[in-house]
Amino acid sequence: MRFADKTALVTGSTRGIGAATARLLAEEGAHVIVHGRALAAAETVAQRIGEQGGKASACAFDLGSSDAVRTGLAAILERHPTLDIVVNNAAVVSDGALIMMSDRDWDEVININLSGCFRVCRAVSRAMLSRRSGTIINVGSIGGMRSSPGQSNYSASKAGLVGFSRTMARELAPRGVRVNCVIPGVIDSGMTLRTNRRRVDEVVAHVPCKRRGTAMEVAQAVAFLASDAASYIYGAELVVDGGLCL
């Protein structure tokens, strides 16, 4: 029970890596706040966690809106002033060749994946700094570390997330707040299932261990960085990709 008496917020946790992370943190004692775009979907995951003996509640707000994030986080912090763990997992894709990509496709992905994470971190870090404790894990992607044709917007958002996480880790470390990044590879859930299967199979062919990862394998990495076992780890990128980036 690594997270007994702790509270964790996991954005984008209605499915895939986010849902697996929410379940795992709850299994290990945390009260998990499940976040999604639609409240009904978040409530479904929270209910399942409760049925399995965990503690969870649900929330929904738009990460693309500064006002919505500010209001949503204020409500969460009012109920849970000691928010201990924040996992920024929410992300969207809008794939297309660079020369065909619209401003709207570019802006939406950057706004949710990168600016949305910034908005959440800005809000929660103030509370964490005042308590001189807390940990933030941002979920990146190998798409931000290697070429990903057809995903220039997504790659840019995830590469930016790594640089943002490093700088934030340096800023917050002196006040006891840890920030780290998990970098998933090709995972057999969530966005991968909505991506062109042929493209996915081509990438998996280059994975040394010759398989896709699972959402729970990524969740385990997130849980490690959130735990006291990672108390001296700041600004790291923990790559969970089966060796793809070697």
The residues annotated with a catalytic role in the active site are 154
Buried-exposed string 77-105: b where 16+ CB fall within 10 A, e elsewhere:
beebeebbbbbbbbbbbbbeeeeebeeeb
Q: Give the H/E segment covering residue 177.
A: strand 177-184
* Coil/strand/helix, residue 18: helix
CA distance 95 to 151: 5
The three-class DSSP label of residue 94 is: coil
What is the rounded CA–CA span in Å between residue 29 and residue 7? 9
From the list 109, 172, 105, the residue with the least C-alpha distance to 144 is 109
